Amino acid sequence: MESRSRRSFLKGTAAAGAALFSAPLLLNGRSRSAAIPDADKPFRLAYAPSIGMFRELCGSDDPLDNIQFIADKGFRALFDNGFPGRPVEEQERIATKIQKMGLLMGPWVLHADFGKTSFVLPHKEVRDFLTAKMEEGIDVARRSGFKMALVVPGRYDYRIHPDIQLANVIDNLRYCADLVGPEGMTLVLEPLNTLRDHPGLWLTKMPQAYQVCKAVNSPAVKIVEDIYHQQISEGNLIPNIETCWDEIAAFHVGDNPGRNEPTTGEINYKNIFSYLLSRDYEGVICMEHGRSVKGPEGVRRVIEAYRDCDPF
């Protein structure tokens, strides 16, 4: 039975959250209206907050309470990079809640070791590692029903010719696809920027990822387009999305500079989201970014930014 003190805490937190969502806010140097328009209406696109992104207003650290809050604010999806690292019982609770509410789950991270040279090598040790990693991912997918897993192919090796590295990556991904494909899983490759965040990685640009996916030629290997990283690496965002469209399975978003919510940097997310809507995109758009303002006000600002950018 819930204690009186906990009921009082949750009631007070809910009241504070309601007050915050109805209070005026100065955003980007201009006064905002008293309330977020359509604050509980479902978004047009499946923007996916991380499970704990709104915990200051949710009033709880319980993942299930946070999932409920996310849905109550009109979001149709969520993501959890660290999902495989959660205790098995918690994975099952989260999966049951998400499936019951009919939400989408974005890709979780299966392998992203930025310090290891892996997929570019043809060695038996790499294949043994990949076998164990894919089996781990299969267990998570079977347990949860979440079948999209993110993979970073690791570091570039300056001792091996670039074309040989490409061939090795393709061979290793074909091997992984043969393991996870029968389970209905999709591995999504994430090109990452080397100019600011991840120097030394092998996979850095969308055309490169597209080339790999075409060569692997499997529905089990696709791309997660991280718009923040690609703005830094190469720009040309919408044309690259259009060119690579048939190999893109999911998106990550974050503005640049700063890697915070849309409207805080130079990326025109209104146009990007409008383009995705025009293509009838139904997949997840993971909100893989920070917040420009800390605390409950920052939560409100993130939600308002997505309301501003959601196409109408």
Question: What residue segments make up the domains of the chain, in order of their start?
Answer: 41-309
As a dihedral over the C-alpha atoms of residue 103, residue 107, residue 109, residue 115, rounded to 10 degrees, the angle is: -150
72 alpha-carbon distance from chain centroid: 20
Radius of gyration (Cα) for the chain, nearest Å? 20
Outline where DSSP puts E strands in 58-183.
77-78, 104-105, 108-111, 148-151
User: 72 near 65, Cβ under 8 Å?
Assistant: no
111 neighbors 81 (Cβ within 8 angstroms): no
Q: Which pLDDT score is estimated for 36?
A: 63
Tell me what pLDDT residue 40 has. Answer: 81
pLDDT tens, position by position, for the chain (312 residues)? 444 443 443 444 444 444 444 433 334 433 333 456 677 899 999 999 999 999 999 999 999 999 999 999 999 999 999 999 999 999 999 999 999 999 999 999 999 999 999 999 999 999 999 999 999 999 999 999 999 999 999 999 999 999 999 999 999 999 999 999 999 999 999 999 999 999 999 999 999 999 999 999 999 999 999 999 999 999 999 999 999 999 999 999 999 999 999 999 999 999 999 999 999 999 999 999 999 999 999 999 999 999 999 987
* Residue 140: C-alpha distances to residues 86, 109, 174 (Å): 10, 11, 20
- Homologous superfamily of 41-309 in CATH? Divalent-metal-dependent TIM barrel enzymes (3.20.20.150)
For residue 249, the model assigns a pLDDT of: 98
Point out the residues that are catalytic. 190, 288
Q: Which amino acid is at 110?
A: L
* Secondary structure (3-state) at 84: helix
pTM of the predicted protein model: 0.88
The dihedral built from the CA positions of residue 101, 104, 107 and 110, taken in this order, carries a sign that is: positive
Using CA atoms, how far residue 25 sits from 190, 277, 297, 301, in Å, is: 35, 29, 8, 8
